[in-house]
């Protein structure tokens, strides 16, 4: 099995750095490319628009959110592309994954908030159920 | 053109219809509660939400955005309604619309960029605080039943979405609380105690006011405040919807649309309104992003009122107060409170001044004005820092002053203080303005003063590195004063 095209979902948390490490290892095995996905939900949209004066600043701030993951990817010399998407994290990642041809999707098992994970069921759970390609959930 | 219209209307029929229904259900309690805040019958807010949502669907600039009766606008009307009554409010609403149309026609949406972010954060925070405090009066002289019902309302609102996401939880809370009160025969105050609800479509009426200068004097200040606050919140909401849907929108068209919507609302017995941040976020989250969603929301809202008006009057005030507390919590920008200590001190001061002014005056437009003024002062203070570095040349016969910064009325004193006229006797002084910009006659005046002082000691002054604009200014103003 070759992992030429890998989706990596990140919310900018420290935990998502661990997922990034696993995605990098997979990519290195087959000289694959990583598509780094960061999803902006409605409440984040509202907050960002309120706090930054224009869309360029907003874009910069969001790019900065995943900068630690990006640094890691550059350090490890893996080819990658960043996608900033809008919507509810779960369904948005699923839609993006199924509209492209990925060999594997890598997601973290924990979000920013433990309570939310417990009650709602995590984003990773939804993604694992509905994404058509193999999913690696990093614990 | 035709294909764009079709895309905006019918590009997402299923999502728009479903989202429109969800929004209509969420709009009803808010429209009623905002009417009560303004001190008028619930129908005025409901007619407003209906007219505004429908008109905006056709001529707004931001498909997918929801407009209606809002808290920000209701809070501005309280004294007008209390002192002069509903007819003057309707007239003020029409005038608000006219001002907003002018705003759009003259393409003034760009003025928004002069309202700094910290003022907008202060605006939403102040709005949240006022919505919350406006509910306190409903608790006056009430017993534990009121508190228990409000608590139950909030519990349903916040816990239900963890399990069911398709129905708006505030609506479920209202249905549950209303049923509990009716079936258990609890005696509490209801919407019906505070105003009338007529199960009729709105009709066209010209406000019953004397058309004279005195009336204009009464309504103009209100209309001006309403139009500014309405556009501020509408354009902020448009930016949020732009970002959520990753698309662009025409802000001047939206300003005009808000204007036409308010003119219509005023003639059909509705109060002035604007775009709603919370409802627009709900709409997009529920899958709405086209013009159809706003139309469905307005029409379905009116349908529900005509069909179910008799039940609506039985909604207990406790349930509405609970919904308003939720609206307040949702409006407040919690990240600004958490990060207050991390913000630059001037930004924090501007935000707190905006909030403080609004809470003190109960007028959002005054808060915005105070915030903008204070941030302008801070900005002037920030850019009035001028740096001067000295460099001696030509065997200690010549002094070069390198000036960095903006030379204008606020910075010239600081600039002149940094130049030591007593130090040494130079044959020549060179002022290097490569990294400076001259802005006004104070800047030219300062250079004249500097020249004069050096010339007293027999020192020749020359300038280098003047940029084009500064040179033009210096020739224009300097030419007048250098008569010697």
Environment class of A52 (CB within 10 Å of its CB; exposed 0-12, middle 13-18, buried 19+): middle
Environment class of B359 (CB within 10 Å of its CB; exposed 0-12, middle 13-18, buried 19+): middle
In angstroms, the separation between the Cα of residue A19 and the nearest Cα of chain B is 26
CA atoms within 13 A on the CB side of B216: 3
Contact A51 B243 (CB under 8 A): no
Residue of B15, B121, B243 to mutate for A, most A C-beta atoms under 10 A: B243
In angstroms, the separation between the Cα of residue A118 and the nearest Cα of chain B is 10
| CB proximity under 8 Å: B 401-460 to A | none
User: CB of B284 within 8 Å of any CB in chain A?
Assistant: yes
Taken in order of first residue, the domains within chain B and their CATH numbers are: 2-338 (no CATH), 387-481 (3.30.750.24)
User: CB of A53 within 8 Å of any CB in chain B?
Assistant: yes
Helix (H) or strand (E) holding A137: strand A135-138
In angstroms, the separation between the Cα of residue A15 and the nearest Cα of chain B is 21
Contact B121 A50 (CB under 8 A): yes
Q: Which residue of A has its CA nearest to B123?
A: A50
pLDDT tens for each residue of B367-416: 999 999 999 999 988 888 899 998 888 777 888 999 999 999 889 988 98
User: CB of B121 within 8 Å of any CB in chain A?
Assistant: yes
CB pairs under 8 A between A and B: 46
DSSP three-state, residue B274: strand
Helix (H) or strand (E) holding B81: helix B71-84
pLDDT of residue B472: 84
Q: In B, which residues are within 8 Å of A89 by CB distance? A: none
In angstroms, the separation between the Cα of residue A53 and the nearest Cα of chain B is 6
Instruction: Give the residue from B285, B290, B241 showing the smallest Cα distance to B13.
Output: B290
User: CB of A83 within 8 Å of any CB in chain B?
Assistant: no
Q: What's the predicted TM-score (pTM) here?
A: 0.85
User: CB of A119 within 8 Å of any CB in chain B?
Assistant: yes
Environment class of B8 (CB within 10 Å of its CB; exposed 0-12, middle 13-18, buried 19+): middle
pLDDT of residue B482: 45
User: CB of A115 within 8 Å of any CB in chain B?
Assistant: no
Q: Which residue of A has its CA nearest to B330?
A: A43
Contact A45 B244 (CB under 8 A): yes
User: CB of A48 within 8 Å of any CB in chain B?
Assistant: yes
* Start-end of H helices in B188-316: 191-194, 213-245, 251-267, 277-285, 291-312
Q: Which residue of B has its CA nearest to A39?
A: B244
User: CB of A61 within 8 Å of any CB in chain B?
Assistant: no
pLDDT tens for each residue of B93-150: 999 999 999 999 998 878 877 889 999 999 999 999 999 999 998 888 878 889 999 9
What are the residues whose beta carbons fall under 8 Å from the beta carbon of B354, sequence distance 6 or more?
B118, B119, B121, B122, B123, B125, B126, B367, B368, B370, B371
Furthest CA-CA distance within chain B: 100
pLDDT of residue B348: 94
Contact B124 A50 (CB under 8 A): yes
Contact B240 A88 (CB under 8 A): no
DSSP E strand stretches across A18-79:
33-40
Q: Which residue of B has its CA nearest to A48?
A: B240
CA dist B201 to A23, B43, B269, Å? 60, 10, 10
Per-residue pLDDT of chain B (484 residues), as tens digits, is 788 888 889 988 999 999 999 899 889 989 999 999 999 999 999 999 999 999 999 999 999 999 999 999 999 999 999 999 999 999 999 999 999 999 999 988 788 778 899 999 999 999 999 999 999 988 888 788 899 999 999 999 999 988 877 778 888 999 999 999 999 988 888 888 887 777 788 888 888 898 899 999 999 999 999 999 999 999 999 999 999 999 999 999 999 999 999 999 999 999 999 999 999 999 998 889 999 999 999 999 999 999 888 888 889 999 999 999 999 999 999 989 888 888 889 999 999 999 999 999 999 999 999 999 999 999 988 888 899 998 888 777 888 999 999 999 889 988 988 888 877 678 889 999 999 998 888 998 999 888 888 888 888 888 888 888 888 888 887 655 444 4
Task: Give residue limits of the domains in chain A.
Answer: 5-138
First to last CA, chain A: 23
Q: In B, which residues are within 8 Å of A43 by CB distance? A: 281
User: CB of B94 within 8 Å of any CB in chain A?
Assistant: no
Contact B244 A42 (CB under 8 A): yes
Partner residue opposite B240 with nearest CB, options A49, A88, A120:
A49
Average pLDDT per consecutive 10 residues, chain A (139 residues; last block may be shorter): 87 82 89 91 89 87 89 90 89 91 86 51 75 87
What are the residues whose beta carbons fall under 8 Å from the beta carbon of B309, sequence distance 6 or more?
B197, B198, B199
Q: What is the rounded CA–CA span in Å between residue A23 and residue A8?
A: 7
| CB proximity under 8 Å: B 188-207 to A | none
Residue of A46, A54, A118 to mutate for B, most B C-beta atoms under 10 A: A46
Token pair recorded at residue B384: 């009035």
pLDDT tens for each residue of B201-222: 888 888 889 889 999 999 999 9
What are the residues whose beta carbons fall under 8 Å from the beta carbon of B66, sequence distance 6 or more?
B23, B27, B53, B275, B276, B279, B280, B282, B283, B293, B294, B297
Q: Which residue of B has its CA nearest to A55?
A: B243
Token pair recorded at residue A136: 């690696």
B428-438 vs B274-275, strand pairing mode: unpaired
Q: In A, which residues are within 8 Å of B162 by CB distance? A: 119-120
Q: Which residue of B has its CA nearest to A53?
A: B117
Q: What is the rounded CA–CA span in Å between residue B57 and residue B47?
A: 15
Structural domain A5-138, CATH architecture: 3-Layer(aba) Sandwich (3.40)
| CB proximity under 8 Å: A 25-44 to B | 40, 42-43
Cβ atoms A127, A107 nearer than 8 A: yes
Partner residue opposite A45 with nearest CB, options B113, B124, B240:
B240
Cβ atoms B234, B275 nearer than 8 A: yes
């Amino acid at each position: 099995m070759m992992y030429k095209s890998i989706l990596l979902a990140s919310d900018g948390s420290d935990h998502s750095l661990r997922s990034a490490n696993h995605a990098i290892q997979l990519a290195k095995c087959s000289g694959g490319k990583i598509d780094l996905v960061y999803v902006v939900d409605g409440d984040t949209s509202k907050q960002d628009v309120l706090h930054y004066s224009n869309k360029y600043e907003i874009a910069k701030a969001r790019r900065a959110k995943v900068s630690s993951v990006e640094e890691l990817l550059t350090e490890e010399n893996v080819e990658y592309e960043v996608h900033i998407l809008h919507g509810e994290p779960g369904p948005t990642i699923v839609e993006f994954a199924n509209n492209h041809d990925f060999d594997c999707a890598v997601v973290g098992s924990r979000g920013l908030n433990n309570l939310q994970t417990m009650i709602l069921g995590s984003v990773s759970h939804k993604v694992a159920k509905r994404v058509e390609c193999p999913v690696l959930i990093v614990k | 053109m035709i294909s764009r219209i079709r895309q905006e209307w019918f590009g997402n029929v299923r999502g728009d219809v479903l989202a429109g229904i969800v929004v209509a259900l969420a709009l009803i309690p808010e429209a009623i509660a905002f009417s009560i805040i303004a001190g008028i019958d619930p129908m005025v807010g409901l007619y407003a939400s209906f007219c505004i949502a429908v008109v905006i669907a056709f001529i707004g600039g931001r498909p997918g955005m929801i407009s209606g009766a809002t808290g920000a606008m209701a809070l501005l009307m309280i004294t007008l309604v209390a002192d002069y009554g509903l007819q003057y409010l309707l007239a003020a609403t029409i005038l608000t619309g006219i001002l907003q149309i002018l705003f759009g026609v003259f393409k003034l949406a760009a003025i928004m960029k002069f309202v700094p972010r910290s003022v907008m954060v202060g605006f939403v925070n102040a709005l949240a605080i006022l919505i919350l405090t406006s509910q306190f009066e409903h608790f006056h002289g009430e017993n534990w039943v009121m508190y228990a019902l409000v608590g139950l309302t909030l519990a349903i609102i916040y816990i239900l979405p963890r399990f069911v996401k398709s129905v708006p939880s505030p609506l479920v809370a209202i249905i549950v609380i209303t049923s509990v009160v009716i079936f258990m025969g609890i005696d509490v105050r209801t919407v019906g105690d505070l105003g009338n609800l007529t199960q009729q479509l709105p009709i066209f009426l010209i406000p019953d006011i004397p058309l004279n200068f005195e009336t204009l004097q009464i309504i103009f200040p209100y209309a001006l405040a309403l139009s500014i606050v309405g556009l501020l919140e509408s354009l902020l909401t448009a930016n949020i919807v732009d970002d959520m849907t990753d698309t662009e929108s025409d802000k001047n068209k939206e300003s005009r649309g808000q204007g036409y919507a308010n003119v219509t609302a005023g003639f059909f017995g509705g109060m002035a309104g604007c775009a709603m941040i919370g409802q627009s976020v709900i709409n997009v989250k529920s899958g709405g992003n086209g013009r159809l969603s706003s139309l469905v929301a307005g029409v379905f809202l009116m349908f529900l009122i005509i069909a179910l008006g008799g039940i609506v009057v039985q909604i207990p005030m406790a349930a509405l107060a609970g919904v308003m507390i939720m609206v307040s919590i949702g409006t407040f920008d919690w990240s600004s409170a958490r990060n207050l200590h991390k913000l630059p001190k001037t930004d924090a001061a501007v935000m707190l001044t905006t909030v403080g002014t609004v809470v003190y005056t109960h007028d959002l437009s005054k808060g915005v004005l105070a915030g903008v003024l204070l941030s302008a002062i801070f900005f002037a203070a920030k850019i009035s820092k001028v740096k001067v570095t000295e460099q001696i040349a030509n065997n200690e016969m010549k002094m070069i002053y390198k000036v960095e910064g903006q030379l204008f009325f606020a910075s010239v004193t600081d600039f002149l203080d940094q130049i030591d006229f007593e130090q040494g006797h130079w044959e020549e002084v060179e002022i290097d303005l490569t990294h400076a910009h001259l802005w006004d006659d104070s800047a030219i005046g300062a250079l004249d003063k500097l020249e004069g002082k050096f010339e007293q000691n027999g020192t020749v002054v020359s300038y280098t590195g003047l940029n084009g604009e500064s040179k033009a200014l210096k020739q224009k103003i300097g030419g007048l004063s250098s008569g010697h």
